Structure 1
Amino acid sequence: MSYHIALNFEDGVTRFIGCKEGETVLDAAYRQKVNLPMDCSDGVCGTCKGHCVQGDFDLGDDYLEDALSEEEEAEGLVLTCQMVPSSDCVIQVPVASTLCKTAVGKLEGTVAHIEPLSEDSIELAVDLDENTELAFLPGQYIHIDVPGSGEHRSYSFSSLPGEKRATFLIRNIPGGVMSAYLTERAQQGERLSLTGPMGSFYLREVTRPVLMLAGGTGLAPFLSMLAQLVEKGCDAPIHMIYGVNKDDHLVKLEALDAFAEKLPSFSYTTVVVDEASQNPRKGYVTHHMDQQVLNDGDVDVYLCGPPPMVDAVLHYFDDQGIAPQSFHYEKFTPNQVKQEGAA
């Protein structure tokens, strides 16, 4: 048996390794040419310390408390030289990937289809080359090189990890580098280069109710998260509030309906800013967060959208004195994805 271990480095790069049953994470990493920090490899120095944010494992009892205290262990810190996984795990490594002699992955694929979904959003599908394994955590993003421009743009996956066809929701920005390529020059079968995955915005293990707040094409990472929840099953309540500026900016509603059918614990509502909207809920997502979905703070909140939306939600939580059990958010601009923080 082998387990998938996601190593999230300080510079945002994620590297996936396989860990054999009974093998330590440190040994598995070195076997796959990822030089995690280490000195003694005997649980004495603490140099290999990281933070396991998801998964089951055994640390044994052969390490010194000077290397890992009881308080640190209770907070999820681990010594990778002693950590033997018993499930898939996600580990935060407190150094840059370059210091571990590893780098962000490089992928190649072809344009499968380009579909305008609304006046402000486009779906791009990329078929990955044969023998390419696309591993990422639902919610993460990747850089896509824009052919002929010498530039790249960053987009969250909307597809399920491991699929041979990767999909993305892309905001259609007049004059934008990627938008111009997709609307004017791109051809089916054209080659694309991708670099990633990256990012600290990803779905954690669901142990309590979840509130997803999506703005515009910030819906993309939630489609990936929901696809995984459907695949693995989830009984905890999952509610999404999906906000856009205009009625016709609401996209992928059929996909959300399908998720709701397959995952009975999932529900969603839509909100439209435009006062002339026919939507029953107008305004901003902060106008429609009732106490039920906030569950008295016993909730994990995931937020992805443009900077004004993210800032408004942050201010709303502060003003209302709301402190979710965990809060993960990502704000994006037309040219980049920016990881702002997680608590």
Structure 2
Amino acid sequence: MSYTIALNFEDGVTRFIGCKEGETVLDAAYRQKVNLPMDCSDGVCGTCKGHCEQGDFDLGDEYIDEALSDEEAAEGQVLTCQMVPSSDCVIQIPVASTLCKTQVGKVEGTVAVVEQLSEDSIELGVDLDDEAGLVFLPGQYIHIDVPGTEVHRSYSFSSKPGEKRATFLIRNIPGGVMSGYLTERCAAGERLTLTGPMGSFYLREITRPVLMLAGGTGLAPFLSMLELLVQKKAEGDTQEQPIHLIYGVNKDDHLVKVDALEHFAKELPNFTYSTVVVDEASEHPRKGYVTHHMDAEVLHDGDIDVYLCGPPPMVDAVLKHFDAEGIVPQSFHYEKFTPNEAGSKS
């Protein structure tokens, strides 16, 4: 038996390691050349402390209170030198990846498909060289080098982890480096270099109602999350907490992948979605911004986990809306993307 452990470093890099049954996370990391912080490895100094965001594990009883107090343990703090996983886990490591002598990974792939879904959205599909696909947390992103340049752009996966073909929704920006490459020069069969995965925006364990808010190509990470939930349901996961997605765009023809959302709604009885169009000339039944359509029934009096991905004005508007309404979600995870900057998230 082996478990997959995601180590999320404070610089945004994520490394995945395999942990054998009965093996500590620290030992597993060192075996795979990831030098996690440590001094004693005996549960005495507390140097290897991290935070386990999800997963099951045993800490034993051989560490001392000065290294990890009962209060810290109750909050999910762990000592990686004592932590023995009994499931896949996600652990926050409070140092930069470079200090642990590890780096973000690189993968190679071949362009399989480039499709312009609307005037402002392009779908890119990349067949990865590794037949096993790429491990990442649904919602995370990766850097893609733009061929013929010395720059990269960053995009969230719209496909689920472990797929041979990784897919991405990319905003078509006039004059954009990646947009220009995809619309003018890119052809099936070309080679791409991808670096990652990265990011702290990813789906956590669902224990309460979930509200997903997507703006434009910010829909991508939610497609990845929903794909994984469909897979888990097929594997027997009986999670029944309600999940509602509000997907906002500027114009009618900017609505893309609605067929995929319909599919998810059929496959996941607890999933619903609504679409919103900003354009006042639209005949869409829901016009305006996502903040205009966050009804009480999807807010659950704040007993929700909120996931938000979109351009900065949208993120700021949602934050202000919650503040004005006095709504404090149980957890709030968001990611802004800035399309005109190198390494942007759109």
TM-score category by the smaller chain?
A: over 0.9
Instruction: Write the mapping of 1:112-131 to structure 2, written as runs, cut at 5 A.
Output: 112-131=112-131
Q: How many residues align?
A: 338
Match of 2:320 in 1: 315
RMSD in angstroms over aligned alpha carbons? 0.8
Match of 2:210 in 1: 210
Q: Which amino acid aligns with 1:281?
A: R
> Could you tell me how far apart the structure 1 residues matched to 2:73 and 2:193 are?
40
Distance 1:132 1:109, change over 3 A: farther
Give 1:235 shift.
Answer: 1.1
> Could you tell me how far apart the structure 2 residues matched to 1:195 and 1:89 are?
22
Contact 2:213 2:246 in 1 (8 A): yes
Pairing 1:297–2:298 present: no
Pairing 1:14–2:14 present: yes
* 1:214-240 Cα distance to aligned partner (Å, 9 max, x none): 000000000000011111133110000
* 1:87-130 Cα distance to aligned partner (Å, 9 max, x none): 00000000000010100000000100000000000000000014
Instruction: Write the mapping of 1:46-85 to structure 2, written as runs, cut at 5 A.
Output: 46-85=46-85
Match of 2:192 in 1: 192
Match of 1:341 in 2: none
> Could you tell me how far apart the structure 2 residues matched to 1:280 and 1:83 are?
52
Q: Which amino acid aligns with 2:223?
A: L
Structure 2: gaps of 5 or more residues: 234-238
> Could you tell me how far apart the structure 2 residues matched to 1:230 and 1:39 are?
43
* 1:172-202 Cα distance to aligned partner (Å, 9 max, x none): 0000000000000001000000000000000
Match of 1:139 in 2: 139
Give 1:39 shift.
Answer: 0.5
Q: Which amino acid aligns with 2:300?
A: N
Pairing 1:247–2:249 present: no
- Could you say what secondary structure the match of 2:139 adopts? coil
Give 1:132 shift.
Answer: 5.7
Output the TM-score relative to the length of structure 2. 0.97
Structure 1: gaps of 5 or more residues: 339-343
Contact 1:68 1:78 in 2 (8 A): yes
- Could you say what secondary structure the match of 1:179 adopts? helix
Instruction: Write the mapping of 1:154-165 to structure 2, written as runs, cut at 5 A.
Output: 154-165=154-165
> Could you tell me how far apart the structure 2 residues matched to 1:329 and 1:279 are?
27
From 235, 243, 259, the counterpart of 1:238 = 243
Distance 1:337 1:54, change over 3 A: farther
Q: Percent identity at matched positions?
A: 82
- Could you say what secondary structure the match of 1:302 adopts? strand
Give 1:131 shift.
Answer: 4.7
> Could you tell me how far apart the structure 2 residues matched to 1:74 and 1:188 are?
51
* 1:136-175 Cα distance to aligned partner (Å, 9 max, x none): 0000000000000111000000001000100000000000
Match of 2:236 in 1: none
> Could you tell me how far apart the structure 2 residues matched to 1:37 and 1:29 are?
10
